[in-house]
């Protein structure tokens, strides 16, 4: 951060009596305060969730503040169904993000690299999956599974998650492939590399960061998904579904602990990948 401060032109360089910067500062300050108020508003529920993971609540209900404790972090896995639901969510997220990573990369690479018939239709379908309401996707998938008399469960959830993640992965990968410098691939071919070798030794390492962010996004979409999962789960319970089911009876502090940990890990990964991609661009 100190580096960025140094890069900025020193404010002293401008004459102190200049009227223009002052007027700009007036509107800017107001907007600055406003922006921070909005950010604060966005963070309030997160703060409440984290705070109540440290609440020394007596009963199963976690509604009123009763003092600070770490004990729920030690008892995180004490509610069996909840732990199971979290594991189910994690396993589905891993499988569906890897699968949609592979399938989405194929589409993204083809769309970025080649001109082919049907690419317009494919773009349209991808746009439709990204912009369709989750409710409609969930409802239509359930309609299909009902029509086929297919049993619902972890498999149908995974199928659904892969479906709505593919387009996101493909979009991210395509954006990277489009900016690819073709001359590098040509150089590899000139040096006698086969198309196969060129792809794995030259092209793939270049697009790997995009594939990686696509997989991460798919993982995040999957682990947080409620609506589509709600329709395709049958009797299987994922983490968001478990929370939904316990809303009426009140949430135990373990949910806050898990929510807090997922939040912390997510933010950490985002910050690390951001820093890495920045240093990658500079170096």
Partner 1 sequence: MDRVKRQLAPYFLVLPGGLWLLLFFAIPMIAMLSLSLQQGDIVNGYQFTFHWQNYTDAIDSYHTQLIRSLIYGAVATIFLIVLAFPVAYWIAFYGGKRKSTYLFLLLLPFFVSFVLRTISWRQILTDDGPVLKPLKEIGLLSDSYHILGTPAAVIGGLVYNFLPFMVLPIYVALERIDPRVVEAARDLYANPATAFRKVILPLALPGVFAGVLMSFVPVSSDYVNSEVLGSSSTTMIGQVIQAQYLVNSDYPTASALSFILMAVLLVGIFAYARALGTEDVMKVAAR
Residues 188-217 that bind partner 1 (CB under 8 A): 195
Q: Which residues in 45-74 contact partner 1 (CB under 8 A)?
A: 45-46, 48-49, 52, 63
Q: Which of 260, 261, 224, 217 has its CA nearest to residue 104?
A: 217
Stretch that binds partner 1, among 67-75, 79-87, 139-147, 201-209 (CB under 8 A): 139-147
List the interface residues with partner 1, window 210-269 (CB under 8 A). Answer: 220, 224, 226-227, 230-231, 239-240, 243-244, 247, 251, 255, 259, 262-263, 266-267
How far apart are the C-alpha atoms of 150 and 67, rounded to whole Å? 49
State the nearest-atom distance from the C-beta of 251 to partner 1, in Å: 7
The CA-based angle 22-28-30, given to 5 degrees, is 115
Q: Measure the CA–CA gap between 259 and 278, rounded to whole angstroms.
A: 28
Query: Taking CB under 8 A as the criterion, which residues in 149-178 touch partner 1?
Result: 159-160, 162-163, 166-167, 170
Among 102, 154, 180, 206, binds partner 1 (CB under 8 A): 102
How far apart (Å, rounded) are the C-alpha atoms in residues 158 and 233?
9
Smaller CB separation from partner 1, 166 or 236: 166
Which span (69-77, 104-112, 183-191, 207-215) binds partner 1, by CB under 8 A? 104-112
Beta bridge partners, 68, equal 55
C-alpha dihedral (151, 157, 159, 162), degrees to nearest 10: 180
Within 10 angstroms of residue 36's Cβ, the number of other Cβ atoms is: 10
CB of residue 53 vs partner 1: minimum separation in angstroms? 11
- Residue (187 or 275) nearer to partner 1, CB: 275
Could you tell me how many residues of this chain bind partner 1 (CB under 8 A)? 83
Closest CA to 176 of 205, 210, 199, 204: 210
CB burial of residue 32 (10 Å; 0-12, 13-18, 19+): exposed
Q: What are phi and psi of 153, to 5 degrees?
A: 170, -155
Query: CB of residue 22 vs partner 1: minimum separation in angstroms?
Result: 13
Give the x/- contact pattern for partner 1 in 1-40, rule: CB under 8 A. ---x--xx------------------xx--xx-xx--xx-
Interactions with partner 1, residue window 72-101 (CB under 8 A)? none
Of the pair 94, 159, the CB lying nearest partner 1 is at 159
Site stretch for partner 1 (CB under 8 A), options 66-74, 76-84, 105-113, 208-216: 105-113
Q: Cβ(79)–Cβ(254) under 8 Å? A: yes
In the complex, the smallest distance separating the C-beta of residue 70 from partner 1, rounded to whole angstroms, is 20
Residue number, 144 or 208, with CB nearest to partner 1: 144
| CB-based contacts of 51, cutoff 8 Å, min separation 6 | 65
- 245: tokens are 């089911």
Contact with partner 1 (CB under 8 A): which of 70, 116, 200, 204? 116
């Amino acid at each position: 951060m100190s580096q960025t401060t140094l890069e900025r032109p020193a404010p002293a360089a401008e004459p102190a009596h200049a009227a223009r910067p002052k007027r700009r500062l007036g509107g800017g300050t107001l907007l600055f305060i406003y922006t921070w108020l909005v950010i604060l508003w966005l963070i309030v529920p997160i703060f409440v969730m984290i705070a109540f993971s440290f609440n020394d609540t007596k009963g199963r209900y976690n509604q009123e503040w009763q003092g600070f404790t770490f004990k729920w972090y030690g008892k995180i896995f004490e509610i069996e169904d909840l732990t199971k639901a979290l594991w189910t969510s994690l396993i589905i997220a891993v499988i569906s993000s890897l699968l949609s990573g592979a399938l989405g990369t194929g589409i993204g690479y083809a769309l970025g690299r080649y001109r082919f018939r049907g690419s317009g239709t494919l773009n349209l379908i991808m746009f439709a999956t990204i912009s369709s309401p989750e409710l409609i996707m969930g409802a239509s998938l359930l309609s299909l599974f009902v029509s086929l008399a297919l049993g619902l469960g972890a498999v149908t959830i995974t199928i659904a998650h892969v479906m709505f993640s593919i387009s996101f992965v493909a979009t991210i990968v395509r954006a990277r492939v489009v900016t690819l410098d073709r001359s590098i691939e040509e150089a590899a071919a000139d040096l006698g590399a086969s198309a196969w070798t060129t792809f794995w030794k030259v092209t793939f390492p270049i697009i790997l960061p995009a594939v990686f962010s696509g997989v991460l996004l798919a993982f995040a979409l999957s682990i947080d998904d409620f609506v589509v999962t709600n329709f395709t789960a049958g009797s299987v319970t994922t983490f968001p579904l478990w929370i939904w089911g316990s809303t009426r009876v009140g949430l135990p502090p373990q949910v806050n602990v898990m929510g807090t940990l997922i939040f912390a890990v997510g933010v950490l990964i985002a910050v690390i990948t951001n820093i890495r991609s920045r240093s990658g661009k500079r170096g």
